[in-house]
Amino acid sequence: MGLPRIGIAACGGTIAATASGDGTATPRLGAADLLDAAPWLRDIADPQARTVMTKASPDITVDDAVRLHAELVAFVRDERLDGVVVTSGTDTLEEVAFTLDLLWDSDVPVVVTGAIRNASKPGTDGPANLTAAVATAASPAARGLGALLVMNDHIHAARYARKGNSGNVAAFVSPTIGPVGYLAEGVPVIPMRVSRTPRVEPPAVPVTARVALLTTFMGDDGALLPAVVADGFTGLVVAGFGGGHLPAAVAEHPAFEELLATVPVVLASRANSGEPLRATYSGFAGSETELARRGVISAGSLDAPKARVLLTLLTAAGRPPDGVRAAFRRFSALP
Ligand code: DAS
């Protein structure tokens, strides 16, 4: 039997960046360049290279991620791949990975990776991360797990992964559950098998739905809410305080009332892990029970950026309010 056929789909980011001469770096490399920098990959896989885009990841949109999904489906089909690796920038890596996780309808592993140190830096982590990602995508243990995020020899389920450090090679964490696996001497080990992320149909492109994301803060008076109304967003995600609470000035703001009457409003927690509460506090306007009574939807185990991805896909597909609520419900373990 031959080596597993693994696709490498390059999208830019630091892993594709080289020095510009003034100490900064810019994404320039394509998939074939990444493969050339890691020739040992041919010992563990039969790699197929395809450059999808060469963007700095702050510029990647949900529309880009939906189009990337379609590219990957075609890549897997055309090249009869056993697994596929996406290389992209770490700034939006968690959102790209989660979009793919929501849309992926196959047991073929899709593994997302990037780098913190660009190719011109001492100790660049790009080739090592690419190698770990290819090994994971080639592993039978990764089949059926949806999208995984591999960085620094840790394997994360896309649904839980977050960038937890701005500049350390150990940048990615899964705060609520921890990584699902790791690489030992280059071999992927996945002791924890998370349930498959509930799938969402890919919306038509271009994805024109726009979902706003606001994080509350001590003394928040809701002054930004009228801009969300005026700008015609198709939904709002609010990152509330720890248990999913908002100041009364936000909860009772006329613009918040108007948003609740017109678009889905989803409440995540700005805390780093866990789920918003459901049945612990009442008697103040921004309590979780009061907000739920007024129609606010809980993000469940999703952090705010992931809730925004899901709400964008759902509103892009024209899901009615009940459908949006049901879709988010599947991300909560709470009754
Ligand atoms: N933060 C850089 C990276 O890690 C830039 C980017 O995300 O494109 O890739």
Q: Mind giving me the DSSP string for 219-287? A: T---TTHHHHHHTT-SEEEEEEBTTTB--HHHHT-HHHHHHHHHS-EEEEESSSSS---SSS--SSTTS
Binding site per annotation, positions: 57, 90-91
Residue 53 has pLDDT above 90, yes or no: yes
Residue 335 has pLDDT above 70, yes or no: no
Q: Checking DSSP bridges between strand 265-269 and strand 235-240, what pairing results, if any? A: parallel
Compute, in angstroms, the gap from residue 223 CA to the centroid of ligand 1. Answer: 32
The answer to whether the CB of 57 is under 6 A from ligand 1 is yes
Among 88, 91, 94, residue to substitute to test ligand 1 (most atoms within 8 Å of Cβ): 91
Is 84:110 a contact under the CB 8 Å cutoff?
Answer: yes
> What one-character-per-residue DSSP string does 223-236 give?
TTHHHHHHTT-SEE
Q: What is the pLDDT of residue 332?
A: 85
> In terms of Cα–Cα distance, which of 259, 246, 244, 235 is closest to 310?
235
**DSSP bridge partners of 157:** 148
Tell the burial category of 282 from Cβ atoms under 10 Å away from its Cβ (0-12, 13-18, 19+).
exposed
Binding site per annotation, positions for substrate: 57, 90-91
- Mind listing the domains of the chain with CATH numbers? 5-189 (3.40.50.1170), 211-329 (3.40.50.40)
Compute, in angstroms, the gap from residue 13 CA to the centroid of ligand 1. Answer: 5
Of all residues in the chain, what percent carry a pLDDT higher than 90?
Answer: 95
Which residue's alpha carbon is nearest to atom 7 within ligand 1?
89
| pLDDT tens column, 62-100 | 999 999 999 999 999 999 999 999 999 999 999 999 999
The more confident residue out of 120 and 105 is 105
- Which helix H or strand E contains 204, and what residues bound it? none
Q: Which atom of ligand 1 is nearest to the CA of 55?
A: 8
The answer to whether the CB of 124 is under 6 A from ligand 1 is no
Q: Which atom of ligand 1 is nearest to the CA of 14?
A: 9
Which residues are part of the catalytic machinery?
Answer: 14
Residue 43 has pLDDT above 70, yes or no: yes
Q: What is the pLDDT of residue 221?
A: 98
Q: 301: pLDDT confidence band, cut at 50, 70 and 90?
A: very high
The answer to whether the CB of 286 is under 6 A from ligand 1 is no
The answer to whether the CB of 114 is under 6 A from ligand 1 is yes
The answer to whether the CB of 87 is under 6 A from ligand 1 is no
| pLDDT tens column, 303-328 | 999 999 999 999 999 998 899 999 99
Q: 58: pLDDT confidence band, cut at 50, 70 and 90?
A: very high
| pLDDT tens column, 223-278 | 999 999 999 999 999 999 999 999 999 999 999 999 999 999 999 999 989 999 99
Which residue's alpha carbon is nearest to atom 6 within ligand 1?
89
Which residue's alpha carbon is nearest to atom 4 within ligand 1?
90
| pLDDT tens column, 194-230 | 999 999 999 999 999 999 999 999 999 999 999 999 9
Phi/psi-derived region of residue 283, left when phi > 0, alpha when psi is between -120 and 50, beta in every other case: left
Longest distance between any two alpha carbons in the chain, whole Å: 66
d(CA 240, CA 218): 10
Q: What is the pLDDT of residue 48?
A: 98
Q: What is the pLDDT of residue 166?
A: 96
Q: What is the pLDDT of residue 21?
A: 85
Residue 334 has pLDDT above 80, yes or no: no
Q: What is the pLDDT of residue 272?
A: 84
Mean pLDDT of the chain: 96
Is the backbone peptide bond immediately before 58 cis, with ω within 30 degrees of 0?
no
The answer to whether the CB of 113 is under 6 A from ligand 1 is no
Compute, in angstroms, the gap from residue 299 CA to the centroid of ligand 1. Answer: 26
